[in-house]
Homo-oligomer: A and B are copies of this chain.
Amino acid sequence: MTATPARFDILGIGNAIVDVVAPVPDGFITKHDMRKGAMALIDAHAADTLYAAMPAGTESSGGSAGNTCAVAAQMGARVAYIGQVADDQLGQVFRHDIAAVGVHFPTPPLVGGAPTARCLILVTPDGQRTMNTFLGACVTLDEDSVDPALVAAAAVTYLEGYLFDPPAAQAAFRKAAAAAHEAGRLVALSLSDAFCVDRHRAAFRDLVTNHVDILFANETEIASLYEEADWRVAAERARADVALAVLTRGADGSTILRGAETVAVAPVTTTVVDTTGAGDAYAAGFLAAYTAGKPLEGCGRAASIAAAAVIAQYGARPQADLSGVVAAA
């Protein structure tokens, strides 16, 4: 079918999470047996125990797709978001912050269930973040959370890979992908984390092969998805599987693959303060520029600028003004 004009550029679906960010020495990561730079799922008890051991922190809205939506909206995109918070103070914070940047967030809060999800983020002196997520209310996100009319109203539906962790979200994922394609829209997926890919490889592979148009991944995530030691080999397999593969490579910039075309994007260098949200901001910049009709080089450039803005500060949502970036792309 031919799509009618989209009301939103981007609809994000993800785990709605409030971040608790604190600086720690490297010894804290090893003492608590964490995998540095990765995201681990923890239960309520472990969250309480780890929180008690953590230094004083700063709370701010997070969640991978939530961050992407917020940054894309700051960059001028029209954005909607689906995610499950609870009817509590942290849920109110999440709702306030995503609404404050103009993101449409229709998901009602969960009443009488688990609290709003928290991610305990430990930032080491090298700027790396190690994340520990208590999913809380996110586990109740399911097919019923996805309004097909909202999906049909968005040019791109963006799904975070972390959403494969809560039990009922994969069904929501598939429903959203089907509704998007039914309406002639695009489906984008971020692989989120190599260990998340490892936990759900078969489901990810099926989704990527059959339902994803735009794939975001970093080198270790794409290598994990295809179980290839060399990310370049994995990248070629992604080229065959999806219309557009966008591969971030840290300080080496990024590589965009579309059919026979390969676009190398130089990184925007900056002081590394905290890498939390760098990939989310990259996807935001890319999609904001892509849905504005910019060429791939411009999309990559807008993506890199957004990522650099986030890396140069504490927290995943940039304080820098990014409003002119897409127009310049």
Which residues of A are at the interface with B, using a C-beta cutoff of 8 A? 23, 51-52, 54-61, 70, 88-90, 93, 96-98, 100-101, 115-116, 314-315, 317, 319
Q: Which residues of B contact A101 (CB under 8 A)?
A: 55-56
Q: Please, which residue of chain B has its CB at the minimum distance from the CB of A54?
A: B100
List 6 other contacts, CB 8 Å, given A58-B315, A59-B59, A88-B89: A55-B100, A56-B60, A56-B98, A57-B60, A88-B88, A89-B89
CB-contact partner of A97 in B57, B89, B98, under 8 A: B57
The answer to whether B56 touches A59, judged by C-beta atoms less than 8 angstroms apart, is: no
Which of A56, A59, A60 has the largest number of chain B CB atoms within 10 A?
A56
Q: What are the 4 closest A-B residue pairs judged by CB atoms, nearest first?
A: A56-B97, A59-B59, A89-B89, A56-B100
Q: Please, which residue of chain B has its CB at the minimum distance from the CB of A48?
A: B92
Q: CA–CA, A97 to B55, complex, Å?
A: 7
Copies of this chain: 2
> Within the complex, what minimum Cβ distance (angstroms) separates A258 from chain B?
33
The answer to whether A93 touches B52, judged by C-beta atoms less than 8 angstroms apart, is: no
The answer to whether B51 touches A96, judged by C-beta atoms less than 8 angstroms apart, is: yes
Q: Which residues of B contact A97 (CB under 8 A)?
A: 56-57
Interface SS of A by simple majority: mixed
Q: Which residues of B contact A90 (CB under 8 A)?
A: 89
The answer to whether B51 touches A56, judged by C-beta atoms less than 8 angstroms apart, is: no
> Within the complex, what minimum Cβ distance (angstroms) separates A95 from chain B?
10
> Within the complex, what minimum Cβ distance (angstroms) separates A5 from chain B?
29
> Within the complex, what minimum Cβ distance (angstroms) separates A86 from chain B?
10
CB-contact partner of A56 in B70, B115, B116, B314, under 8 A: B70
> Within the complex, what minimum Cβ distance (angstroms) separates A170 from chain B?
29
Q: Which residues of B contact A317 (CB under 8 A)?
A: 56
Instruction: Using known A-B contacts A88-B89, A89-B90, A319-B23, determine if residue A56 contacts B61 with beta carbons closer than 8 Å.
Output: yes
> Within the complex, what minimum Cβ distance (angstroms) separates A110 from chain B?
14
Q: CA–CA, A51 to B100, complex, Å?
A: 10
The answer to whether A52 touches B315, judged by C-beta atoms less than 8 angstroms apart, is: no
Q: Would you give 17 A-B contacts (Cβ < 8 Å), ordered by A? A: A51-B96, A54-B96, A54-B100, A55-B100, A55-B101, A56-B60, A56-B61, A56-B96, A56-B97, A56-B98, A56-B317, A57-B96, A57-B97, A58-B58, A89-B89, A89-B115, A314-B314
The answer to whether B61 touches A60, judged by C-beta atoms less than 8 angstroms apart, is: no
> Within the complex, what minimum Cβ distance (angstroms) separates A277 from chain B?
13
Which of A54, A96, A115 has the largest number of chain B CB atoms within 10 A?
A96
> Within the complex, what minimum Cβ distance (angstroms) separates A148 from chain B?
29
Q: CA–CA, A59 to B118, complex, Å?
A: 13
Q: Please, which residue of chain B has its CB at the minimum distance from the CB of A93?
A: B59
Q: CA–CA, A100 to B56, complex, Å?
A: 6
Q: CA–CA, A77 to B216, complex, Å?
A: 49
> Within the complex, what minimum Cβ distance (angstroms) separates A287 from chain B?
19
Q: Which residues of B contact A70 (CB under 8 A)?
A: 56
Instruction: Using known A-B contacts A58-B315, A115-B89, determine if residue A96 contacts B23 with beta carbons closer than 8 Å.
Output: no
